[in-house]
């Protein structure tokens, strides 16, 4: 039963953070947005008692995706030669 609750909690956590990242990207609000996401992430970790490995893995995936998005946006910029 605990395993099922942990899986459901993990799915709810990642679903909520995915929805939150669509609304409150740290890049839109600067330092305030970054601190808000960190505080909400910490609160969700404590609330759902998630394993730290999953949080680190989620952070790495999020970082890689955002780096890819920034790289693609950089390549679309016009060149002024």
User: What pTM was estimated for this model as a whole?
Assistant: 0.39
pLDDT of residue 65: 87
- Please report, for residues 42, 47, 51, 56, 73, the alpha-carbon distance to residue 6 in angstroms, rounded to integers and kept in the order given: 17, 11, 10, 17, 37
pLDDT of residue 45: 73
Which position has the higher pLDDT, 78 or 49?
78
Closest CA to 55 of 40, 36, 70: 40
pLDDT, one tens digit per residue, over 22-68 is 665 555 556 666 667 777 777 777 776 667 677 778 878 888 888 88
Query: Which pLDDT band, with edges at 50, 70 and 90, does 18 fall under?
Result: low
């Amino acid at each position: 039963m605990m395993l099922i609750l942990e899986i459901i909690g993990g799915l709810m956590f990642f679903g909520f953070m995915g929805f939150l990242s669509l609304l409150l990207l740290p890049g839109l609000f600067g330092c305030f947005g970054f601190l808000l996401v960190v505080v909400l992430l910490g609160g969700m970790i404590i609330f759902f008692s998630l394993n730290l490995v999953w949080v680190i893995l989620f952070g790495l995936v999020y970082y890689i995706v955002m780096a890819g998005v920034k790289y693609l946006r950089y390549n679309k910029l016009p060149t002024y030669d």
